[in-house]
Structure 1
Amino acid sequence: MSILLALAAALAPVATAPAAADFDNGAQTLSPDHETCWIPFEFTPGNQIRFVMALEGNPVSAILDTGVSYSVLAKRYAEAQHLRVRGDAKADVIGGSVPVGWIPTRMLAIGGLRREGGRLVVADLPAAATGSATAVDLLVGRDLTAGYALDIDYAGRRFRFLRSGRTPFAGTSSPLSIAPERLVYVSSVVLSGAELRPMVVDTGDGSAITLSKAGWNTAQMSSRATTTTVSFGLAGPVVSEVAIVPQLVVGKTIAKNVEVRVEPSGGFSDKIGVAGRIGSGFLQNYRVLLDPTAGQMLLSPGPGADKPPLRSTSGLLLGIARDRLKVLHVMRGGPAAAAGWRDGDLICRVDGQAITPAYATSPLARWTAGAPGRIVALTLCDGTQRRLTLANFY
């Protein structure tokens, strides 16, 4: 996974379907061998769980997104398959709201889980929602997952569905439920002695912890050094503050040196009435069991649980556009800001090496969080040469 894009991405569309009370979830069943039906996944550059499942017997790419109330099919896919999209409504997402419709379905299959009948919400799913140039076909949300225990083995890059009440590993427990109005997974956190709730448990959010401005103020953390970052939801980008806090508690789990993003006042968390989100940037440090029916989230530390978070030393947050890097955001107070970099600048070479489709998973991508004092030679796509000296700044 690209260090550069893991720092850049916090991509968590949270949608509420139209006519929620009447929305048809179909009939779901688990196969007799469901416990052995692990679903392999890869991380997107935006730090999300991407896997392959079946829709009407055809393979589709999907993201596991417990922050979505109703699973969302890409409008692009529906049009390519000549599916009739019905309805005309709006859904709340990060960055604003988007138009949505729906389609009926006959069969969905994910590992040992099958659903016959039901509906999918249809909306635009831009590639930016995964932090890469490749869009996905489907967001798998609460309507498909919440009736079961969801066992996510982040270290093994696999997940599976279990019957609720099953506890396949030992760990520390946190409360977990489904919010009655927003219909997403919710828990709580404690920061600087302040309990903040409800917190959406959002596997589709690539960041670690995101808080509303009010939640951050409640925890009295305003003296912490911060910079700025950018998040991308279905309705576009949102600039927020970011800081590293020394300790954060989730249930009985004590996490050290956690990256926290702080939304502006009136931001998405305020709009939907939550304190913030617990994203995959935090969850991926653990093996995770999400079982809202049993009322618990179980966390077992993985090999990276005690490692300090990566910090940008460049002050550039970048996206990949085929053979080039595009500056998505210049972080406040960083080396790039001091050197006059601007959003939209395009980089074609780093230390003389060309950007290729394999860049995101290559060692070359680590330069944005490199050792302070290192000087990186960057070639813009117009041929301009620049040098950037890396430094700690937050």
Structure 2
Amino acid sequence: MWIPVKLRVFPALALAWALAGASTAAWSQAAGATTAPVNAAIAFDFVQDRQILFPITVNGRPAEAWLDSGASATVIDTAFARKLGLKLKGRVRARGVADPIGGVRLAHADLDVAHLQLNDRPVAVMDLSAVSRVVQRPVQVILGREVFDEAVVEVDFAQRTIAFQPNRGFRPPPGAPLGLVRSGDLRSFVIAIAGAPVEAVFDLGNAGGLLVDRDFAQGRGLLAGRVSTQLAVGADGARESAVTSLDRVEVAGVVLNGVPTAAVQGLASHAQANVGLAILRRYHLTIDFAGDRMWLRPDADAATQAFRKNRAGLAVTPQQGRYLRVTHVALGSPAQAAGWKVGELIRSIDGQAIDPGYPASALSRWTFGPPGQVVALTLADGSRRLLSLAEYY
């Protein structure tokens, strides 16, 4: 029997892996003792406003963890596992959104998350270097469902804090909760798209807004408007998907318009959709997996906050600490109209040279400028091009 585990990392990675010869119950029973957490908030880093990152320890060693409610188990990078001296066990069959991932192994580790101690937990060990190259920092640990099963998790985006509260003695916040439904090994809840109810996975590991199954989207006519393309990079490599913007997406009573929506062929879940951080960051979250419920308390401006969108049509990856390599040119975008090609190298933006600090700098957000803004891009050969930003999906 196989144990399916789904992981979504950056900016959209779906990983389903299975371990032969064990049941889900056996997997759960393999977990070691848990020490109740202290109900205290710790600060997190909201990396590029796309991932929740905070300190943990693994086998007593400090590490950075990326929080992912859509991962059914914790994942540790191969290089970091080697430094920890983890003993690798059986091989794990894994696949991404579409393609298989090789070299995934089973191991056990002790995790300490803000005094929540998860001892001798089964973890997947795999190469996360492709994700690290995109975010330009080491990705050591993807912290999955275990922490949500063991504690009530509260995420305060306004204060950039996260707290892990004991399940026993938990006092619910004011207001009625939303029900969580078990969707395979994940949790989903009901949203509405154009007035119709849709089951959607609750996914703090999805850096985008909304993911929908492509067949479902086509059947509902969700791709009838302007459709472009985007590149998602994960452990299974790069994958192009269709992207559009949807109006009348209702989440926890708030109607959102202009929601960036990627249509993925064969979405790796039992639900038709997946709600990510571009939406969830508009709410104060209290997540109680054990009680199959959560509270989404919207910010005052939740409905009017503009969604961040790429208005250039270029996807770029830092290279050699001084260039940006074009990895994708979006269909129907200003970049495509201007003749940009994959593989071209950019050395400066509006006269500012690319340097190793680019990924964490304000300069890295140049593609999200307002429509009509003109950006001057200097290529590696010294030639200069002007690119006018525009809405194209």
Scaled by the length of structure 2, the TM-score of the pair is 0.88
Corresponding residue for 2:299? 302
Corresponding residue for 2:4? none
- Which of 156, 175, 180 is matched with 1:176 structurally? 180
1:14 Cα offset (Å): 3.6
1:359 lines up with 2:342 in the alignment: no
Task: Give the partner amino acid of 1:192.
Answer: A
C-alpha RMSD of the superposition:
2.3
The correspondence of residues 334-345 of structure 1 with structure 2, limited to 5 A, is 334-345=333-344
What is the rounded CA distance, in whole Å, between the counterparts of 1:290 and 1:343 in structure 2? Answer: 41
Contact 1:52 1:61 in 2 (8 A): yes
When residues 153 and 294 of structure 1 are mapped into structure 2, their CA distance, relative to the original with a 3 A threshold, is: same
Corresponding residue for 2:33? 27
Corresponding residue for 1:96? 99
What is the rounded CA distance, in whole Å, between the counterparts of 2:361 and 2:140 in structure 1? Answer: 26
What is the rounded CA distance, in whole Å, between the counterparts of 1:93 and 1:29 in structure 2? Answer: 33
Corresponding residue for 2:165? 162
When residues 224 and 369 of structure 1 are mapped into structure 2, their CA distance, relative to the original with a 3 A threshold, is: same
What is the rounded CA distance, in whole Å, between the counterparts of 1:384 and 1:95 in structure 2? Answer: 38
Percent sequence identity is 28
Task: Give the partner amino acid of 2:272.
Answer: A
Corresponding residue for 1:70? 73
When residues 233 and 303 of structure 1 are mapped into structure 2, their CA distance, relative to the original with a 3 A threshold, is: farther
Contact 1:335 1:391 in 2 (8 A): yes
SS in structure 2 of the partner of residue 145 of structure 1: helix
Contact 1:204 1:280 in 2 (8 A): yes
SS in structure 1 of the partner of residue 159 of structure 2: coil
SS in structure 1 of the partner of residue 211 of structure 2: strand
Contact 1:177 1:293 in 2 (8 A): no
When residues 193 and 275 of structure 1 are mapped into structure 2, their CA distance, relative to the original with a 3 A threshold, is: same
Corresponding residue for 1:150? 153
1:280 Cα offset (Å): 1.4
Alpha-carbon displacement from aligned partner over 1:249-273 (angstroms, at most 9, x marks no partner) = 2343433332211113xx3x1x543
**Which stretch shifts more, 301-310 or 185-194?**
301-310
Q: Which has the higher contact order (CA 8 A, sep 6+)?
A: 1
Contact 1:211 1:260 in 2 (8 A): yes
Alpha-carbon displacement from aligned partner over 1:271-306 (angstroms, at most 9, x marks no partner) = 543312111121111111121222222111236622
What is the rounded CA distance, in whole Å, between the counterparts of 1:110 and 1:119 in structure 2? Answer: 16
Contact 1:14 1:67 in 2 (8 A): no
Task: Give the partner amino acid of 2:74.
Answer: S
Scaled by the length of structure 1, the TM-score of the pair is 0.87
1:274 lines up with 2:275 in the alignment: no
What is the rounded CA distance, in whole Å, between the counterparts of 1:187 and 1:91 in structure 2? Answer: 26
Contact 2:131 2:139 in 1 (8 A): no
When residues 150 and 14 of structure 1 are mapped into structure 2, their CA distance, relative to the original with a 3 A threshold, is: farther
When residues 288 and 376 of structure 1 are mapped into structure 2, their CA distance, relative to the original with a 3 A threshold, is: same
Task: Give the partner amino acid of 2:378.
Answer: T
- Which of 84, 98, 107 is matched with 1:81 structurally? 84
1:126 Cα offset (Å): 2.1
What is the rounded CA distance, in whole Å, between the counterparts of 1:345 and 1:171 in structure 2? Answer: 52
1:373 Cα offset (Å): 3.0
The correspondence of residues 249-288 of structure 1 with structure 2, limited to 5 A, is 249-264=250-265, 267=266, 269=267, 271-288=268-285
1:55 Cα offset (Å): 0.9
Contact 1:95 1:232 in 2 (8 A): no
- Which of 78, 90, 109 is matched with 2:112 structurally? 109
What is the rounded CA distance, in whole Å, between the counterparts of 1:167 and 1:65 in structure 2? Answer: 24
When residues 298 and 319 of structure 1 are mapped into structure 2, their CA distance, relative to the original with a 3 A threshold, is: farther
Alpha-carbon displacement from aligned partner over 1:50-97 (angstroms, at most 9, x marks no partner) = 111011111011101111111111111122333321101212333423
What is the rounded CA distance, in whole Å, between the counterparts of 1:284 and 1:214 in structure 2? Answer: 27
Alpha-carbon displacement from aligned partner over 1:365-387 (angstroms, at most 9, x marks no partner) = 33312233333211122333222
Aligned pairs, number: 375
Task: Give the partner amino acid of 1:367.
Answer: W
SS in structure 2 of the partner of residue 146 of structure 1: helix
What is the rounded CA distance, in whole Å, between the counterparts of 1:140 and 1:184 in structure 2? Answer: 14
Corresponding residue for 2:318? 320
Q: Which runs of 5 or more structure 2 residues have no equivalent in the other structure?
A: 1-9
Task: Give the partner amino acid of 1:330.
Answer: V
Q: Which runs of 5 or more structure 1 residues have no equivalent in the other structure?
A: 1-8
What is the rounded CA distance, in whole Å, between the counterparts of 1:308 and 1:45 in structure 2? Answer: 16
When residues 216 and 130 of structure 1 are mapped into structure 2, their CA distance, relative to the original with a 3 A threshold, is: farther
**Which stretch shifts more, 187-196 or 60-69?**
187-196
**Which stretch shifts more, 18-27 or 161-170?**
161-170
**Which stretch shifts more, 12-21 or 244-253?**
12-21
- Which of 118, 122, 127 is matched with 1:119 structurally? 122
1:353 Cα offset (Å): 0.8
